[in-house]
């Protein structure tokens, strides 16, 4: 994880999935349904973060790198090393949530092309992914090297045989604690190491190959190839 994500709901639905909402909110993106079914790395993702007690919603590049790095921004950070690697040192104190409707993974099943799967919560509510990066403040000015990266963990054998990594997703009350600047970095590390949601909160199913082209969009990308509960 993670190669593509879907954010087709509206930002109000994503924000309402959190608990402990502040009195002040500022959404710097459209309120209507986002309709983004196929976001690739470096694409713009709706991101929730806090600044001076205000919950901000911004569109930010999916991926981050420090100013000195010569390689491409990394859209994912491994939970096993994110708190200690020099690459993530400046981003680690800056925490956010990417709220998503689901994400895609590709599996080699012996065919001419890898088979894409769509993964989403079983209960239908947004998935709250723990992220780090560099974010705008209340004034909205872009910071140096803005962006956000998902924190990932081992997928317990491959999200039950779909992939070897999965995003760290948090229950609403933990997601709010993750965002809160008062949460110590040590506590934040323990949250993503030990308190991410388990794989059995999710379901996954095969979808068409069209999602492999990031220019393709639309709800047809998340339609199952067979009725759920079947291969």
From 2, 129, 150, 177, active-site residue: 2
CB 104 within 8 A of CB 207: yes
Residue 129 annotated in active site: no
Structure tokens at 173: 């009350």
Question: Partners of 131 in the beta sheet?
Answer: 96, 150
Residue 52 annotated in active site: no
From 13, 52, 80, 105, active-site residue: 105
The CB-based long-range contact list for 14-17 (8 Å cut-off, 24+ gap) reads 14/46, 14/48, 14/57, 14/99, 14/126, 15/48, 15/55, 15/57, 15/99, 17/99, 17/125, 17/126, 17/128, 17/172
Tell me the catalytic residues. 2, 105
């Amino acid at each position: 994880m993670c190669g593509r994500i879907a954010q087709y709901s509206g930002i109000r639905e994503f924000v309402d999935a959190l608990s402990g909402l502040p009195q002040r909110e500022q959404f710097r993106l459209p309120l209507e349904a986002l309709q983004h079914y196929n976001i690739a790395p470096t694409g713009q993702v709706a991101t929730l973060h806090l600044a001076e007690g205000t919950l901000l919603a911004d569109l930010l590049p999916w991926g981050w790198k420090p100013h000195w790095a010569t390689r491409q921004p990394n859209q994912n950070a491994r939970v096993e090393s994110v708190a200690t690697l020099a690459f993530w040192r400046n981003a680690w104190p800056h925490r956010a949530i990417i709220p998503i409707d689901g994400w895609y993974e590709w599996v080699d099943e012996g065919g001419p092309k890898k088979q894409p799967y769509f993964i989403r919560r079983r209960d239908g509510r947004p998935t709250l992914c723990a992220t780090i990066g560099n974010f705008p403040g209340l004034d909205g000015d872009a910071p140096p090297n803005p962006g956000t990266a998902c924190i990932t963990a081992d997928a317990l054998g491959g999200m039950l045989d779909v992939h070897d990594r999965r995003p760290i997703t948090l229950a609403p009350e933990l997601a709010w604690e993750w965002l809160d600047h008062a949460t110590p970095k040590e506590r934040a590390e323990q949250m993503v190491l030990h308190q991410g949601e388990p794989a059995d909160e999710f379901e996954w199913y095969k979808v068409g190959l069209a999602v492999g082209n990031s220019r393709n969009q639309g709800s047809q990308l998340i339609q199952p190839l067979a009725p759920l509960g079947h291969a």
